[in-house]
Amino acid sequence: MTGNCFGNLFKITTFGESHGRAIGVVIDGCPAGLELSEKDIQKELDRRRPGQNRIVSPRKEEDKAEVLSGVFKGKTTGTPIALLVFNRDADSSKYEKIKNVFRPGHADFTYFQKYGFRDYRGGGRSSARETVARVAAGAVAKKLLKKFGIEVLAYTVEIAGVKSKSFNRKVIEKNLVRAADLKAAKEMEEAIFSAREQNDSVGGIIEVKATGVPAGLGEPVFDRLDAVISYALMSLPAVKGVEIGAGFEAARMTGSQDNDLMLYSKKSKKFEFKSNNAGGILGGISSGGEIVARIAIKPPSSIKREQKALTVEGKEVKLKVEGRHDPCVVPRAVPIVEAMVALVLADFFLIQKTRKL
Amino acid sequence: MTGNCFGNLFKITTFGESHGRAIGVVIDGCPAGLELSEKDIQKELDRRRPGQNRIVSPRKEEDKAEVLSGVFKGKTTGTPIALLVFNRDADSSKYEKIKNVFRPGHADFTYFQKYGFRDYRGGGRSSARETVARVAAGAVAKKLLKKFGIEVLAYTVEIAGVKSKSFNRKVIEKNLVRAADLKAAKEMEEAIFSAREQNDSVGGIIEVKATGVPAGLGEPVFDRLDAVISYALMSLPAVKGVEIGAGFEAARMTGSQDNDLMLYSKKSKKFEFKSNNAGGILGGISSGGEIVARIAIKPPSSIKREQKALTVEGKEVKLKVEGRHDPCVVPRAVPIVEAMVALVLADFFLIQKTRKL
Amino acid sequence: MTGNCFGNLFKITTFGESHGRAIGVVIDGCPAGLELSEKDIQKELDRRRPGQNRIVSPRKEEDKAEVLSGVFKGKTTGTPIALLVFNRDADSSKYEKIKNVFRPGHADFTYFQKYGFRDYRGGGRSSARETVARVAAGAVAKKLLKKFGIEVLAYTVEIAGVKSKSFNRKVIEKNLVRAADLKAAKEMEEAIFSAREQNDSVGGIIEVKATGVPAGLGEPVFDRLDAVISYALMSLPAVKGVEIGAGFEAARMTGSQDNDLMLYSKKSKKFEFKSNNAGGILGGISSGGEIVARIAIKPPSSIKREQKALTVEGKEVKLKVEGRHDPCVVPRAVPIVEAMVALVLADFFLIQKTRKL
Amino acid sequence: MTGNCFGNLFKITTFGESHGRAIGVVIDGCPAGLELSEKDIQKELDRRRPGQNRIVSPRKEEDKAEVLSGVFKGKTTGTPIALLVFNRDADSSKYEKIKNVFRPGHADFTYFQKYGFRDYRGGGRSSARETVARVAAGAVAKKLLKKFGIEVLAYTVEIAGVKSKSFNRKVIEKNLVRAADLKAAKEMEEAIFSAREQNDSVGGIIEVKATGVPAGLGEPVFDRLDAVISYALMSLPAVKGVEIGAGFEAARMTGSQDNDLMLYSKKSKKFEFKSNNAGGILGGISSGGEIVARIAIKPPSSIKREQKALTVEGKEVKLKVEGRHDPCVVPRAVPIVEAMVALVLADFFLIQKTRKL
């Protein structure tokens, strides 16, 4: 309830501010015996890192993960795994002069109201830089899930109104926006550059799928798999909507259209579904089908265009937000989305081990 | 993590199956000294009750709430408040014959996979009847919030593609679909009747607003107010999507369009917002503005139209789902949505008392 | 944190006051497929029931358990098990006249301070009657543990300074004080009757053992098995001390005396311990040996002897506590102690299923 | 439930092994606005540090605390406070040769059983070195409590059977064993030196008091103040017993002896108690009196005397435990005990803010 913990049996606690000394996470509950190296974590951090290409924030962070505990001779010991990433290129100078200004669209005002006081350097704890910790923890969750054949894949399906029209998994990591459609990806990139030129920013939509998820994950009533995935994804900065399977479209279907009928394969002795409007979840519990979710990401609030803003005293000032910001956070959010879904699934996977005799 | 608890300081645990003896809830953490009567709870239960009008399930349940503990001389004592509603009109006969069939769109298959065994009478625990407990608990949360000037209001904004075009708060409880636009309401009703005639069902969209919420509620990082509202609402049966403020539309805006600028009223010494794309939440924390969320509700899976379904052994059978089902659950979901948002706000309201010196 | 929940994966929430309508408990997380009947629960409730013999409170309560949910066709379904016991013989008349008096040794003063208000009828929530719910839940935990060969046994070892000198398991349920030494039992009974005659009360010590506990239960650092057992037992009314294995005596041993050396049986391929100063727990984790704990129970605070007491306004009054009280709660506490230890073990047993790959 | 978290609203998560890279803790939920410096933490760490005098382990650790997050301009921000202490003088060489041996009295065997694998360097996570994190977190809790007039004080009352006979607060930090009786302290020291000479070890008893605690802290039923204090203290390595107030002696008292009568001071308008058999807690809730608890600490298991031990394969070997061990951990446990009680009180203090309207 303290807000910086997530999960139950595979439980993480994160800490750190954008311009503080470090960002970190403690993973408590990862089973013993899982092979784990700093490389496993670094691989994922590199995908969300600023400065990785010309479309993202130029802040130069190596984002090098250090494993402080919980791993011995290349394997998890069952005790807490602490992962630490030091902040190297924080530049707080730009923030000194706006320390009394509430930047539009940011959490400056609400943190101030909540705590009566705030760390104004780069947004402090409200900065998306805290997602470094989520990605690091998610890397461990992914490793665990992979052992059991579960994989999570996210990709951009829309930016600035430009939609993907095809799906080619192989191209996702080969274009700047992480779309699965190279042609649309090109247009999306251009939309981003164009927004940046106009000192503005754009948003978009990410889709995430999980495959290999066994039937039975998720709990009834409150901790439904879809509810917890929504919670996890809506907890990401800038996310304003989430949908599962057919999502908002389901509201316009009839029952006879929406119901996914089943197939039974005598060969594999497995139940399958002919369609997937449910997004792989029925009654909050995984059905064995592909889990599908989508999230809406708003355009970044930090824009160089002049905006009117208020000071702590209520005085109106003119503000151009400086600093090294992304004109669109969708591409860098892709690995973060995967991390969150992996964390949810790892937790439910462990819980399910205790649900029947 | 056991799935039937919700909340931290204002914490509820629910129990009961559709055709079991009773549905109930224990509220642990409600502050002492709140005036509370069975009437407060009954009022809300009556709004979600089946059989209340010709548009909903004809199951005849009084849904009479009994307060078993936690209230003394008309006031809460600070100890757990147990609320119980006995099931009176459960008719399990219809379910005996389909006890080995997985009804399309239902949780029959997933519960069977999860537990290796299921209570097939009326969906057992996966039935929407469990929301009786949520509404009962929500009534207590609403009473608490009201003391501090916080109110939650939900209403239907779309059914079967028919959208509300105006907003009149007064008419919401005066039409069968609980829309705020009487003209649209009429069309929605017709769409529902038409679906029922065709042995089919329809879905829709509900909007919920909370007013009077002070700035500062919600926790950073994971337990953001928007994340927990999403979790709460997605945990309701049939919900497939949730959005906050501008929601999915925000993905198509630019930052300069999306950012809500602020106003300072010298008179009231209060900060306000000129627009509300954020839905009253910044960085996961309430801004003092109106909280706004919307959810997508799928059409009910139980339809009388013949569908192909599989048995536990994988055999295909033809199925017409009998029983007393709603052709559209949107109208009855309105008080349930209010209950969930009230539960979230009550919890965060208490937590916020501990956040600054 | 709300105080009325216990456990993590096998989690219980209790409710109800001494003179309210009912006492109940919701068990959330019991695995599906466990055979369970009302008889399993009744058997344990009968052991703690008032009025069962001439040594205990004459309050006439059948304490009949009703299963409201979570069991279908004689088996647990994996969903919450709600157990309810209605209060039948509450007599609040004796409490009206002392509603403004803080009874010495009772929680009257502290509840008043905590909540600003209290249910004075029979102690309300602070009454030991709430342990009905613990025993009911413990019966389910015991049933689960038994399936895996784990048993919990408690018995009285001292009352009013009279100590047991021998151990005969078979006599425990055959004497009024539940001692394992019939001769000492006789003396203990007499000490109790003598105290009652003098309008006074006496305390004692209970020992509890768990056998068949596999090595590996308990978590490192905070949720050690011994720590959680202590928490569970100290949460019982009137308990003032707890010790594990050699307990306070260990403080006077040397390391060479205290260390339990190990044996390896080639035949059974099992590790064993030559002594059990550790009480079956090393580093907070079960060693496979017998778990042993002891608790000190104070004499009941309700005595008929005249005492000076204060009113809410601070006025001194003379008080003889009337009502139907036990002159010694040790015998009735025996099944409650078993219940608490069973609840702890059931929880850790489930958790351990998730601790290694 | 993952075992490395403690507390609810003032919640800590610890990590790190004895011979790993670092020991650390994340405090989540400390209210914003508390003045806090690294000095506040260092002061407490210095009290538990090895190598501080000739009676304790000579391992040379500076135990320098670094604050990684949650503090800005000398004040807590309300976001997680991460504290890190790097291990500098770990010498794992001694452990390589006994990596397959289960040291008597240690958690080697149980960790191996639990996780199927263990970090054998210096006990890994089961080492008492993890209490560095508790003391660091406790320092923050102490700072918070002090602001509200609450203080926690622990001291040694018995070592190797030698008991303190007087109480002088001022001498506690001025003798090697942290007793409040200088004469007894001298004898205790000698008992420790004598044990060390004989390659053996000794145990003892610590008493802890909390003053200035307002009435009303603690929750009914499970999270009673005494239950949670017991849990906290029994979670410390080597603790085998805990008692509150009169403790085990209460089991031998009569009700008329044990009940603490009350006084009302017209002058201060305060209720007080004439005696303190209850240890400042009634019905699990603080009464406004002094909180008193005592714990039994066993002699350290690591002794240089030759003992028989088993290997992983069940082979008997002769073992002299080398390394730099304390012949008695009681003196260094004193600040750790204070830390745990402070953590409990800080948590309940925050919770109580939400308990009445």
- The pLDDT confidence band at residue B149, using thresholds 50, 70 and 90, is very high
Amino acid at D215: A
Q: Do D33 and A117 touch (CB under 8 A)?
A: yes
Residue B52 confidence (pLDDT): 83
Reported as a single tens digit per residue, the pLDDT across C326-338 is 999 999 999 999 9
User: What's the mean pLDDT when you consider all of chain C?
Assistant: 95
CA distance D256 to D253: 8
Whether the Cβ atoms of residue C4 and residue D354 lie closer than 8 Å to each other: no
Q: Do D255 and C201 touch (CB under 8 A)?
A: yes
Q: Is C344 helix (H, G, I), strand (E, B) or coil?
A: helix
Residues of D in contact with B357 (CB under 8 A): 31-34, 147
Residue labelled with tokens 């949670």: D228
Residues 6+ apart with CB under 8 A from A308: A104, A316, A317, A318, A319, B261
Q: Do C110 and D252 touch (CB under 8 A)?
A: no
The domain in which residue C311 lies consists of 5-352
CA distance D186 to D163: 11
- The pLDDT confidence band at residue D103, using thresholds 50, 70 and 90, is very high
H or E element in which residue C233 lies = helix C225-234
**Which chains are within 8 Å of D by 3+ CB pairs?**
A, B, C
Residue labelled with tokens 């409990």: D344
CA distance B135 to B340: 8
DSSP-derived secondary structure for A147-209:
HTT-EEEEEEEEETTEE--S--GGGGGGSTT-BS-HHHHHHHHHHHHHHHHTT--B-EEEEEE
Residue B91 confidence (pLDDT): 80
Residue B202 confidence (pLDDT): 98
Q: How far is A44 from chain C (nearest CA, A)?
A: 23
Around Cβ C306, how many Cβ atoms within 10 Å?
12
Instruction: Classify the phi-psi angles of B51: left when phi > 0, otherwise alpha if psi is within -120 to 50, otherwise beta.
Output: left
Q: Which segments of D109-221 are extended strands (E)? A: 151-159, 162-163, 204-211
Is D89 a residue whose pLDDT tops 90? no
Q: Do B356 and D1 touch (CB under 8 A)?
A: no
Q: Is B296 helix (H, G, I), strand (E, B) or coil?
A: strand
Mark out chain C residues that contact chain A at CB-CB < 8 A.
1, 8-9, 29, 31-34, 78-79, 147, 220, 350-351, 353-357
Residue B1 confidence (pLDDT): 59
Q: What is Dmax (Cα atoms) for chain C?
A: 72
Q: Is D304 helix (H, G, I), strand (E, B) or coil?
A: coil
Residues of C in contact with A8 (CB under 8 A): 8
Q: From A134, A74, A82, select the one nearest D87 (Cα to Cα).
A: A82
Is B99 a residue whose pLDDT tops 70? yes
∠ CA C15-C16-C21, nearest 5°, is 140
Classify residue A357: in a domain, yes or no. Answer: no
**Best to test chain A binding among D6, D15, D127 (most A CBs inside 10 Å):** D15
List the A239-244 sheet strands across, edge first: A162-163, A151-159, A204-211, A291-297, A239-244, B239-244, B291-297, B204-211, B151-159, B162-163
Closest by Cβ to D1, choosing from A2, A8, A20: A8
Burial of residue D54 (number of CB atoms within 10 Å: 0-12, 13-18, 19+): exposed
Whether the Cβ atoms of residue D46 and residue A112 lie closer than 8 Å to each other: no
Residue C168 confidence (pLDDT): 98
Q: Which segments of A16-103 are extended strands (E)? A: 22-28, 65-67, 71-72, 75-76, 81-86, 101-102
Classify residue D295: in a domain, yes or no. Answer: yes
Instruction: Classify the phi-psi angles of C103: left when phi > 0, otherwise alpha if psi is within -120 to 50, otherwise beta.
Output: beta
Q: From B348, B55, B316, select the one nearest B210 (Cα to Cα).
A: B348
Residues of A in contact with C31 (CB under 8 A): 354-357
What average pLDDT score do residues A88-106 get?
Answer: 88
Whether the Cβ atoms of residue A30 and residue D88 lie closer than 8 Å to each other: no
Angle between helices C131-147 and C38-48 (to 10 degrees): 130
pTM higher than the cut 0.95: yes
Burial of residue D116 (number of CB atoms within 10 Å: 0-12, 13-18, 19+): middle
Is C324 a residue whose pLDDT tops 80? no
H or E element in which residue C9 lies = none
CA torsion, ordered A8, A10, A15, A19, to nearest 10 deg: -130
- The pLDDT confidence band at residue C1, using thresholds 50, 70 and 90, is low
CA distance C131 to C208: 17
**Best to test chain C binding among D11, D102, D217, D240 (most C CBs inside 10 Å):** D240
H or E element in which residue D101 lies = strand D101-102
CATH number, domain of C34, equals: 3.60.150.10
Residue C88 marked in a binding site: no
Q: From A127, A268, A285, A160, select the one nearest A221 (Cα to Cα).
A: A285
- The pLDDT confidence band at residue C122, using thresholds 50, 70 and 90, is confident
Residue labelled with tokens 């009013």: C160
DSSP-derived secondary structure for C24-84:
EEEEE-PPBT-B--HHHHHHHHHHH-TTSSTTS--------EEE-SSEETTEE-SS-EEEE
Q: Which segments of B134-288 are extended strands (E)? A: 151-159, 162-163, 204-211, 239-244, 262-265, 270-273, 281-282, 285-286
Query: Pairing relation of β-strands A81-86 and A75-76?
Result: unpaired
Give the count of domains, chain A: 1
Q: What is the DSSP letter of D104?
A: T
Classify residue B357: in a domain, yes or no. Answer: no
Is D1 a residue whose pLDDT tops 70? no
CA distance A115 to A104: 19
∠ CA B102-B108-B109, nearest 5°, is 75
Handedness of CA B120, B125, B128, B132 (dihedral sign): positive
Classify residue D357: in a domain, yes or no. Answer: no
CA distance A170 to A6: 31
Q: Which two tokens stand for residue A321?
A: 């937000």
Whether the Cβ atoms of residue B299 and residue B201 lie closer than 8 Å to each other: yes
Residues of C in contact with B22 (CB under 8 A): 68-69, 82
CA distance C301 to D262: 14
Q: Which of A49-53, C77-81, C85-89 has the highest mean predicted lDDT (pLDDT)?
A: C77-81
Please state which of the ranges A163-177, C45-59, C164-178, D172-186 shows the lowest mean pLDDT. C45-59
Instruction: Classify the phi-psi angles of A137: left when phi > 0, otherwise alpha if psi is within -120 to 50, otherwise beta.
Output: alpha
Classify residue D328: in a domain, yes or no. Answer: yes
Classify residue B23: in a domain, yes or no. Answer: yes
Please state which of the ranges A268-282, B50-64, C114-128, D252-266 shows the lowest mean pLDDT. B50-64
Residue D178 marked in a binding site: no
Classify residue A136: in a domain, yes or no. Answer: yes
CA distance A157 to B104: 29
Q: Do A119 and D68 touch (CB under 8 A)?
A: no
Q: Please list the alpha-helical segments (H only) found in chain B.
A: 38-48, 93-96, 108-115, 131-147, 182-197, 225-234, 255-258, 330-352
Amino acid at A157: V
Residue B324 confidence (pLDDT): 76
Residues 6+ apart with CB under 8 A from D1: A8, A9, A29, B1, C8, C9, C219, C223, C347, C351
- The pLDDT confidence band at residue B2, using thresholds 50, 70 and 90, is confident
Reported as a single tens digit per residue, the pLDDT across D117-129 is 889 988 899 999 9
Q: What is Dmax (Cα atoms) for chain D?
A: 72
Reported as a single tens digit per residue, the pLDDT across B48-59 is 988 788 887 887
Classify residue C357: in a domain, yes or no. Answer: no
Residues 6+ apart with CB under 8 A from A182: A168, A171, A174, A175
Residue A256 marked in a binding site: no
Reported as a single tens digit per residue, the pLDDT across B21-35 is 999 999 999 999 999
Is C57 a residue whose pLDDT tops 90? no
Residues 6+ apart with CB under 8 A from D92: D19, D121, D122
Please state which of the ranges B84-88, C23-27, D55-59 shows the lowest mean pLDDT. D55-59
